Amino acid sequence: MKFPKNERSSPTETYEAPAYLTRALNEKPKVTRAEQWKVWFACALQAFWVMGINQSFGIFQAYYGSDKAVKEGVIQPEDQMERAGIAAIQSLGNGGIVAVFAIFFYPYLPCIGRHIRTLCFASTVLAASGFAAAAACNNIWLLVVTQGLLVGIGNGFFLNVLTAILPEYFGRRSGAAQGAAAAFGCVGAVILSLVLHRMLDSVGSRWTLGTLSIASMCILGSSSYLAQPPRKCHRRSAKLVGWKTFKNPTFTLLFLANFIHPMTVAIPTTFGPEFSKALGYSGNMASIILAVSSAVGIPSRFLLGWAADFVGHNNMLFLAIFIFALSTLIMWLPSALADSGAVWMVYKVVYGCVFGTFTALINSVQKGHFGDELYYPYNGAMTSIRGIGYVVGVPVAGLLVSRAKGSELHGSDFVTPIAYTGIFLMVSVLCLAGVRYLDAKKNGWKWVK
């Protein structure tokens, strides 16, 4: 860094600043333990609620396709077989709609500062209002707008902003911090999978959605109060990502993986309860299977995040997605072809172990490749394409399920969406393998730090 020699000297006469001064200007302020706890609890609370709702949406997917939903008047008889439309509630409600625009607002996140709490509180009101409005709906498309779009915008801000900020507060232990926070998403999914089924069965969707509205205000309101701003850093780029960035093969491969993986990751949870019923299980057992799958993820998310800090985030991400892809093709697909409930339950345990690894580690992986200066602009582009994957992936899978009432479905009716899931996951694995290869050319093939 260069400075004028003295006040009288010409502006063109400069000297080189000492290296220690340059480093000091570029270093971030030290993080306090209180800040770490606050940002972690904020992320843990939003994960518990937002990710918990997303992972347990399969209960709503099965309910909205049932005769009981028609009798209650929440949907019309012709909506029962509109699985793509019902799935659109989840694809919008999961926060993907906010992620789509991340390329435009992520570069400016460091400018938000303490205003992040105000934005979080506003998002809380929006999510709670969406659930409250959904309680008064009488057709599937109104549910798409309320439980889907409104809730998705509110929840999406928490999921896509707070999660991106978390790694900056934990340095080398960011994997463990993200894994532990993500584990709370599994806790939420376990509780909500069981509670939602009981509530929908006993009091119906209107009271259930009203309860979700009140709970959103309480839980997301607490997360808003604890939210911390992005870390201050002397060097931050606020430039939008341009086409020239795709000349970087690492960026391009991660961009593709961020699109392909989200297209498939929510399919086993969204259609899981319906698939369980198609295999002959009761609605109560279907919710238990979904809850068990989420329960397995509670320790596994923390352990995978902790292990990633030792074996490398790139390595752990690749291994987890490879296991996910392989198990889909050699377990879930055969269970559909043979109507095998046992194989399906084994698959759900494996899925529970690796589900969420991509969400938990991808921010740390991208931060490691692109550094602090480019983290938000590049991560914004990745989050945008990820959002498109979240929005379009599940409805496409819904179109591929055989068009029949829920009570008339069989395991074989899900073969096409399962194959779609497995093939796309394998393409994602190839992209991550390419990223690992490019990283190895620079830093070697070391698997343990």
pLDDT digits (tens, 9 = 90+) for 129-143: 999 999 999 889 999
Does 426 score more than 90 pLDDT?
yes
Burial environment of residue 222 by CB neighbours within 10 A (0 to 12, 13 to 18, 19 or more):
middle
Distant-in-sequence, close-in-space partners of 135: CB < 8 Å, separation ≥ 6: 205, 206, 207, 209, 210, 213
- Give pLDDT, residue 67: 86
The number of distinct structural domains making up the chain is 1
pLDDT recorded at residue 10? 44
- 188 falls within a domain: yes
Q: What is the reported pLDDT for 29?
A: 64
- Asked if residue 362 is part of any domain, the answer here is yes
Q: Is the pLDDT of residue 231 over 60?
A: yes
Structure confidence at residue 5 (pLDDT)? 47
**Where does the pLDDT of residue 23 fall: very low under 50, low under 70, confident under 90, or very high at 90 and above?**
very low
Mean pLDDT of 266-271: 90
State how far Cα 278 lies from the chain centre.
Answer: 27
Q: Is the pLDDT of residue 2 over 70?
A: no
Helix, strand or coil, per DSSP, at residue 442: helix
pLDDT band at residue 148, thresholds of 50, 70 and 90? very high
Q: Which residues constitute the domain of residue 380?
A: 35-443
Residue 9 pLDDT more than 50? no
Neighbours of 446 (CB within 10 A): 10
- What pLDDT is stored for residue 27 in this prediction? 54
Looking at residue 216, its pLDDT comes to 96
Specify the pLDDT at position 239: 66
Range 112-135 average pLDDT: 91
Is 328's pLDDT higher than 90?
Answer: yes
Residue 131 forms part of a structural domain: yes
Spell out the residues 6+ positions from residue 65 whose beta carbon is closer than 8 angstroms to its own.
80, 81, 83, 86, 274, 405, 406
Helix (H) or strand (E) holding 16: strand 14-16
So what's the pLDDT on residue 258? 92
**Is 19 contained in some domain?**
no
Report the range out of 280-284, 300-304, 379-383 with the highest average pLDDT: 280-284
**Residue 81: predicted pLDDT:** 80
Which helix (H) or strand (E) is 54 found in, with range? helix 52-55
Residue 12 lies in a domain: no
- Per-residue pLDDT tens for 71-88? 998 988 888 888 888 888
Whether 289 contacts 281, CB under 8 Å: yes
What's the pLDDT at 372? Answer: 67
The fraction of the chain above a pLDDT of 70, given in percent, is 87
pLDDT in tens, 365-413: 887 887 766 777 888 888 899 899 989 988 999 888 876 665 677 888 8
Find the CATH number of the domain harbouring 335. 1.20.1250.20
Check residue 8 and give its pLDDT: 46
pLDDT band (50, 70, 90) for residue 237: low
Percent of the chain with pLDDT over 90: 38
How far is 204 from 136, CA to CA, in rounded Å?
12
As a whole number, mean pLDDT of residues 37-55 equals 92
pLDDT at 50 over 60: yes
Dist CA 146 CA 216 (whole Å): 14
In a domain, 426, yes or no: yes
Residue 170 pLDDT more than 50? yes
Do the domain assignments include residue 21?
A: no
Highest-scoring range by mean pLDDT, 29-33, 101-105, 431-435: 431-435
Instruction: Please provide the average confidence, as pLDDT, over all residues in the chain.
Output: 84
- Where residue 416 falls among pLDDT bands split at 50, 70, 90? very high
Flag whether 3 is in a domain.
no
